[in-house]
Amino acid sequence: MTVDDDPGVSRAVARDLRHRYGQEHRIVRAESGEAALEALREMKLRGEQVAVLLADYRMPQMNGIEFLEQAMDLFPGARRALLTAYADTNAAIDAINVVDVDNYLLKPWDPPEEKLYPAIDALLDAWRASDFRPVPETKVIGHRWSARSSEVREFLARNQVPYRWYTTDEPDGQRLARAACAKVGRPVPDVTEDTELALPMVITPDGEVLVEPTDSELAVKVGLATVPAAGFYDLVVIGGGPAGLGAALYGASEGLRTVLVERLATGGQAGQSSRIENYLGFPDGVSGSQLTGRARLQAAKFGAEVLTACEVVGLEVSGSARTVHFADGTAVGGHTVILATGVNYRQLPAPGITDLTGRGVYYGSALTEASACAGSDVYIVGGANSAGQAAVYLAKHARSVSILVRGTSLERSMSYYLIQQIADIKNITVRTCTEVTAARGDGHLEGLTLRDNSTGATEDVAAQYLFVFIGAAPLTSWLDGVLTRDARGFIPSGPDLAAGGKRPDGWPLDRAPYHLETSVPGVFVAGDVRSESAKRVASAVGEGAMAVMLVHRYLEKL
């Protein structure tokens, strides 16, 4: 949609947009903010999607910023740009803060190939990669309390595969489940909430029915690469979080044949963050999946191969070759390896928790389950930023959110800005000195026992949802005997290995390990899995980039 009060300009913008985008998109033009809002309201009622809003800044009655502000209420997912005269550039820059404008374009925009289309292309790409893209065709049929259904949704969401979710306790889901069973030749059940159905079932866009698929089956069917195209690379990056994506991006863009291998979905922990507010360059914050989704596209654009649903279970060192073994028994070789496997949430050690995981108890996966929490009382365990962000996000859906913290306050573990946000949200309560000591439920979480550690008193509460964000641990046991790990499983590198100027045991070279190099030459480490790392998105990305610089240095001397 384009809005400009000058009819000539309005027609010219619409003409140029139609010329380039008319095949795929309907171009709607309006000559005032009010008229544009009326058209948007109609589109909303008709269930249509709006991809991009392009508004002139200087309009009588309602200026472009005011229009975009109101348009956001109707179509929050539409990407937004202001069209301005050179003299208004400062106002346009201010608008970035007010209405989160994605871009501003200067008039005149001739030639559009240089001054208009690249900007609109970027806005369309961002919109397509967002949660607001057109209704997807992959369908997941499952049950609200089926742990595997929850995992499958999480897998698809984190890999940015659009899908529609149907539950078998709703008529639509039941209809689809019957059709899917008929298609795969299973007896068509009387689908009710209690029926023992093999769930989840996934229906691909071309109508294939997958019954209880594994992650790798699913990955193949939805078009994600799971096997490497070559047998040997300059650089094998293990882990697709910010550190791994950073490494793959810089490796590929600097000419290294690079493959990134990810166990589950690219994005890592950052991909689970509802809003990262402290990453450089995003004054209004950015959702983790948007940030890492773009990073993945960028890495792929430079030629990095990205494999998903591909777990690494071993590293073998033989002369100058490093062989990375996968869980399915296959392997890939490389001159160098960057370990970027991050950390995982620790399990909550209370009775009942393990059985109810995925059935009301979730580790970190607040985003996919959020809408299901509508009207429920939700509990969150943890006092760090991840727990705080989840609380802010879930409070929009849940009736109440209780943050349970073992310590006496949030101050030591959570950023000040988040503590302030939480204090301003009425349906969030912080319970300090509190631990979960038991969870119970028949098939799904129904209640928790909480202990107040300052008094020793216990209390049983009804609860349908518990999200756990407690201290994280690296999963590096597969590196046992291959390289040095510290007592907690983190991987020391460079100066941390060479205490008092000594070389690490078995170190074969006459130089000391480079800064991010592990106790095995040519194997580097970046991000949260590194001993003494900062546990921040920015530092993980930075270390990924820096590790590539050291890879070059290593390869030069190979």
Is 262 one of the binding residues for ligand FAD (CB under 6 A)?
A: yes
Is 531 one of the binding residues for ligand FAD (CB under 6 A)?
A: no
Residue 353 φ then ψ, to 5°: -65, -45
Spatial separation of the C-alpha atoms in residues 306 and 165, rounded to whole Å:
26
Is 364 one of the binding residues for ligand FAD (CB under 6 A)?
A: yes
C-beta closer to ligand FAD: residue 364 or 441: 364
Spatial separation of the C-alpha atoms in residues 543 and 530, rounded to whole Å:
10
Q: Which residues contact 219 (CB under 8 A, 6 or more apart)?
A: 159, 225, 226, 308, 309
Largest CA distance in the chain: 76
Cβ at position 264, least distance to ligand FAD in Å = 4
On whether the CB atoms of residues 104 and 93 are closer than 8 A, the answer is yes
Task: By CB under 6 A, name the one of 2, 84, 287, 341 that touches ligand FAD.
Answer: 341
Considering only residues 405 through 464, tell me which ones interact with ligand FAD, judged by CB under 6 A.
none
Is 138 one of the binding residues for ligand FAD (CB under 6 A)?
A: no
Using only the alpha carbons of the chain, give its radius of gyration: 26
Is 40 one of the binding residues for ligand FAD (CB under 6 A)?
A: no
C-beta closer to ligand FAD: residue 33 or 527: 527
C-alpha distances (whole Å) from 127 to each of 106, 132, 173, 294, 533 are 22, 7, 28, 11, 34
How does strand 458-462 pair with strand 447-452? antiparallel
Q: What angle, 0 to 180 degrees and rounded to 10, lies between the N-to-C axes of helices 7-21 and 117-128?
A: 60
Is 308 one of the binding residues for ligand FAD (CB under 6 A)?
A: no
Is 492 one of the binding residues for ligand FAD (CB under 6 A)?
A: no
C-beta closer to ligand FAD: residue 261 or 428: 261
C-alpha distances (whole Å) from 371 to each of 201, 273, 377 are 21, 16, 13
C-beta closer to ligand FAD: residue 213 or 239: 239
Is 475 one of the binding residues for ligand FAD (CB under 6 A)?
A: yes
C-beta closer to ligand FAD: residue 59 or 245: 245
Token pair listed for 422: 């939480």
Length of the chain (residues) = 558
Buried/exposed 203-215: b ≥16 CB within 10 Å, e otherwise: bbeeeebbebbeb
On whether the CB atoms of residues 71 and 79 are closer than 8 A, the answer is no
C-beta closer to ligand FAD: residue 240 or 293: 240
Site string for ligand FAD, 196-235 (x = CB under 6 A): ----------------------------------------
Cβ at position 512, least distance to ligand FAD in Å = 24
C-beta closer to ligand FAD: residue 372 or 475: 475
Task: By CB under 6 A, name the one of 103, 149, 160, 272 that touches ligand FAD.
Answer: 272
SS3 string, 370-388, reads HHHHCCCEEEEECCCHHHH
Is 276 one of the binding residues for ligand FAD (CB under 6 A)?
A: yes
Cβ at position 310, least distance to ligand FAD in Å = 7
Spatial separation of the C-alpha atoms in residues 170 and 152, rounded to whole Å:
19
Q: In this chain, which stretch among 77-85, 211-219, 228-236, 267-275 interacts with ligand FAD, using CB under 6 A?
A: 267-275
Is 242 one of the binding residues for ligand FAD (CB under 6 A)?
A: yes
Task: By CB under 6 A, name the one of 214, 278, 347, 354 that touches ligand FAD.
Answer: 278
Cβ at position 529, least distance to ligand FAD in Å = 6
Task: By CB under 6 A, name the one of 62, 261, 286, 468 that touches ligand FAD.
Answer: 261
Task: By CB under 6 A, name the one of 33, 64, 213, 241 that touches ligand FAD.
Answer: 241
Is 540 one of the binding residues for ligand FAD (CB under 6 A)?
A: yes
Spatial separation of the C-alpha atoms in residues 118 and 29, rounded to whole Å:
20
Cβ at position 272, least distance to ligand FAD in Å = 5
Is 238 one of the binding residues for ligand FAD (CB under 6 A)?
A: yes
Task: By CB under 6 A, name the one of 528, 531, 542, 554 that touches ligand FAD.
Answer: 528
Three-class SS state of 443: coil
Is 527 one of the binding residues for ligand FAD (CB under 6 A)?
A: yes
How does strand 138-142 pair with strand 201-203? antiparallel
Buried/exposed 470-486: b ≥16 CB within 10 Å, e otherwise: bebebebebbeebbbbe
Is 395 one of the binding residues for ligand FAD (CB under 6 A)?
A: no
| Helix H or strand E encompassing 21 | helix 7-21
C-beta closer to ligand FAD: residue 11 or 325: 325
Three-class SS state of 119: helix
Is 43 one of the binding residues for ligand FAD (CB under 6 A)?
A: no
Task: By CB under 6 A, name the one of 217, 254, 311, 486 that touches ligand FAD.
Answer: 311
On whether the CB atoms of residues 349 and 437 are closer than 8 A, the answer is no
Nearest to 391 by CA among 375, 402, 377: 402
Q: Which residues bind ligand FAD (CB under 6 A)?
A: 238-244, 261-264, 268-270, 272-273, 276-278, 311-312, 340-343, 364, 385-386, 389, 475, 527-528, 535-538, 540
